[in-house]
């Protein structure tokens, strides 16, 4: 029997989106900036067919997030060259087929826009929530960047005439000038640590385009963690980036949010659309602080 989420996906024919949903089964946590796990039942990638109604955590964009244009909309950065070693603002628009700024968006996990930034060696991950001006220009405050090639992903739900709502992830490349020193991708592992927390994956081997149950146990000092706080309406936010081509998947943990009582085990129905190594960035919140853990996961073909 199909679950409600799978039924919606089947009706929309988003096979690739379903793959992303599998990856979504990763872990209910928050954000920081080192090794970590994934989160709940919500995936994201590039352009998807439109849907009517309010998309929920099971309504995910189709594709791999590598296209700048989808469903008649284009991600248009104001400047593709950024400075190194300093905080700065990054501006962009989402433009319609006529080149004019598109300004009608629907909240997705409490935000109208999610911007993700990752360097080509899968370091320097940032997840930011830009603000939009009246002319449709979005401004995102970026943290310090190291020289190198980056990809920026804009994740949002567009609402067009008639109330049609379309989840999209569009992206483009950016460059930070300077001497580039790349970091080798860490080997696949079963656990990772961030800010004193240990996140342990529990699952068998994952296969591309196949659904698997993936669990993430969160502990600190050897004791189970049970005080995860809601972050963007869930206990964890997971972003997965493919090491080969920087394909994008966005995921969230299963289960209901019940105050500051998340953990210790987070369960995900994970499906990633491509074989190879994926770098998972898991964001979770405790005591008002956001943590970001990162871990490499190998997906079989």
Residues 291 and 29 sit within 8 Å (Cβ to Cβ): yes
Predicted local distance difference test score (pLDDT) of residue 130: 98
Predicted local distance difference test score (pLDDT) of residue 7: 38
- Angstrom distance (rounded) from CA 161 to CA 159: 7
Report percent pLDDT > 70 for the chain.
Answer: 79
Angle (CA) 255 258 262, round 5°: 70
Of the candidate ranges 35-49, 156-170, 176-190, the one whose mean pLDDT is the lowest: 35-49
Contacts of 287 (CB under 8 A, 6+ apart): 227, 229
Nearest to 280 by CA among 174, 170, 154, 188: 188
Q: Measuring CA to CA, how many Å separate 252 from each of 39, 109, 143? A: 3, 10, 24
Contacts of 162 (CB under 8 A, 6+ apart): none
Tell me: pLDDT of 6 over 80.
Answer: no
Predicted local distance difference test score (pLDDT) of residue 33: 36
Q: Which two tokens stand for residue 18?
A: 């379903």
Predicted local distance difference test score (pLDDT) of residue 149: 98
Asked if the domains at 13-44+185-300 and 51-176 fall in one CATH topology, the answer is yes
CATH architecture of 13-44+185-300: Sandwich (2.60)
Q: What is the pLDDT of residues 227-264, one digit of tens each?
A: 999 999 889 988 999 999 999 987 767 888 999 999 99
Q: Give the residue extent of every domain in the chain.
A: 13-44+185-300, 51-176
Predicted local distance difference test score (pLDDT) of residue 270: 77
Pairing assessment for the beta strands 148-159 and 164-176 based on DSSP bridges: antiparallel
Tell me: pLDDT of 182 over 80.
Answer: yes
Q: Which two tokens stand for residue 152?
A: 């920026």
Q: What is the DSSP string of 78-147?
A: S-SEE-SSS-EEEEEEEE-TTSPBP--EE-BTTBS-EEEEEETTS-S-EEE--EE-TTSEEEEEE----S
Tell me: pLDDT of 48 over 50.
Answer: no
CATH of 51-176, one of 2.60.40.1930, 3.30.160.110, 2.60.40.1180, 1.20.1440.120: 2.60.40.1930
Mapping DSSP to helix (H, G, I), strand (E, B) and coil, where does residue 272 land?
coil
Mean pLDDT over all residues of the chain? 82
Tell me: pLDDT of 118 over 50.
Answer: yes
Predicted local distance difference test score (pLDDT) of residue 252: 67
Tell me: pLDDT of 97 over 80.
Answer: yes
């Amino acid at each position: 029997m199909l679950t409600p989420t799978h039924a919606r996906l089947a009706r929309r024919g988003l096979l690739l989106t379903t793959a992303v949903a599998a990856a979504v089964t990763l872990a209910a946590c928050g954000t920081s900036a080192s090794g970590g796990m994934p989160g709940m039942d919500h995936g994201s990638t590039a352009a998807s067919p439109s849907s009517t109604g309010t998309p929920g955590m099971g309504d995910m964009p189709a594709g791999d997030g590598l296209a700048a244009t989808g469903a008649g909309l284009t991600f248009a950065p104001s400047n593709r060259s950024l400075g190194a070693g300093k905080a700065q603002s990054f501006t962009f628009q989402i433009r319609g087929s006529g080149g004019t700024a598109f300004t009608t968006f629907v909240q997705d996990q409490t935000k109208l826009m999610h911007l993700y930034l990752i360097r080509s060696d899968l370091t320097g991950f940032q997840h930011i929530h830009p603000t939009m001006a009246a002319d449709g220009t979005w401004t995102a405050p970026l943290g310090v960047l190291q020289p190198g090639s980056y990809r920026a992903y804009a994740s949002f739900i567009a609402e067009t005439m008639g109330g049609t709502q379309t989840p999209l992830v569009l992206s483009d490349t950016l460059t930070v000038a300077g001497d580039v020193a790349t970091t080798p991708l860490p080997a696949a592992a079963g656990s990772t640590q961030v800010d004193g927390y240990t996140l342990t994956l529990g699952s068998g081997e994952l296969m591309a385009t196949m659904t698997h149950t993936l669990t993430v146990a969160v502990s600190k000092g050897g004791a189970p963690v049970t005080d995860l706080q809601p972050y963007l309406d869930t206990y964890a936010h997971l972003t997965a980036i493919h090491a080969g081509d920087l394909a994008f998947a966005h995921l969230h943990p299963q289960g209901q949010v019940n105050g500051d009582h998340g953990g210790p085990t987070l369960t995900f129905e994970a499906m990633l659309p491509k074989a190879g190594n994926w770098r998972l960035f898991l964001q979770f919140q405790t005591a008002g602080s956001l943590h970001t853990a990162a871990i490499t996961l190998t997906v079989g073909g």
